[in-house]
Amino acid sequence: MDFEEIVIRTDRLDFPALAVGDGPVVVCWHGFPDHPATFGPLAEHLVAAGRRVVAPFLRGHHPATVDRMPYADGLTLAADAAAVAQALSPDGGVDMIGHDIGAGMVGRVAAAWPERLRRGVTMAVPPPKTLPAALRDPAQQQRFFYMWLFQVPGVAEAVLETDRSLIDYLWDTWSPGLDPGEHRARVHELYGDPAVLRNVLRIYRGNFDRTLHDPELAPVAARSEVPATIPLLVLGGADDGCVAPEHFADAETGLAPGSSVRILPGAGHFMHLDRPDEVARLVLDWIHPASYS
């Protein structure tokens, strides 16, 4: 897929993004360790269906924004997603897909800024309300070893900056059998920048370190963690080596009525590369209405 790089100007930050196609916008938010271009196989189907795909770089993940990350909590990133949606559609919401970190962003937009979201899809991470239950599972705690590693100052930086072997390991174990092809080089290049790696660590440390939370967003923090008022499509991979599929079993308890939770056979964590045809079918069924205002 031949993306063009654009810049989305918002009142929070100017976000570099990859874009392709024409029509109503679908915004795709990536996670770690990932790159916006991995949405390419999914974008092919969305563009063929008459949609414009816009895949921004997360704050701090592009040379233009690498020094623009004073705060790094999930709500900061969700506020970014809401701002991008407003810039792309000032008079209404946009369709959003979020993978991994991006899934949390879309879930929080749905809860805190529902007017900015038309239809939302999250991939590979359960809703914020049900994720804590997964953290109580010792087997899942082991899968999340990288999160605990990332909390250790100095050690985490040394491990990530020495080489990309940990990133390769995460890809290989999270989506067993997947050959990322040309995307591996893109991911290595992105996370070969020590400044980007430090921003990644700040995001993960922001899960526990409240000094990384933006105090200006405190008034919306509480409602960002409760079930959204609008339905979401939640996708998990049956072969995901990062978040086991059983942790999606109670996902609907953290979602609005009308939401749908689907576990994809033969899909790992990077399901948009494992099963792009099936993901596209589910996404298009979810976001394609009879009328679009």
Q: What's this model's pTM, rounded to 2 decimal places?
A: 0.96
The angle that helices 165-174 and 182-190 make with each other, rounded to 10 degrees, is 130
Give me the amino acid identity at 116.
R
Q: What is the mean pLDDT of the chain?
A: 95
Enumerate the domain spans of the chain. 4-287
The dotted CATH code for 4-287 is 3.40.50.1820
Arithmetic mean of pLDDT, 126-145: 88
Arithmetic mean of pLDDT, 261-271: 98
Q: How confident is the model at residue 129 (pLDDT cuts 50, 70, 90)?
A: confident
| C-alpha to C-alpha distance for 208 and 6, rounded to whole angstroms | 33
The pLDDT of residue 253 is 86
pLDDT at residue 127 is higher than 90: no
Give the single-character DSSP code of 58: P
pLDDT digits (tens, 9 = 90+) for 2-12: 999 999 999 99
Q: 186: which residues sit within 8 A by CB, 6+ positions away?
A: 35, 37, 38
What percentage of the chain has pLDDT greater than the value 70? 98
Comparison of pLDDT for 16 and 291, the residue scoring more:
16
Roughly how many angstroms between the first and final C-alpha of the chain, as a whole number? 28
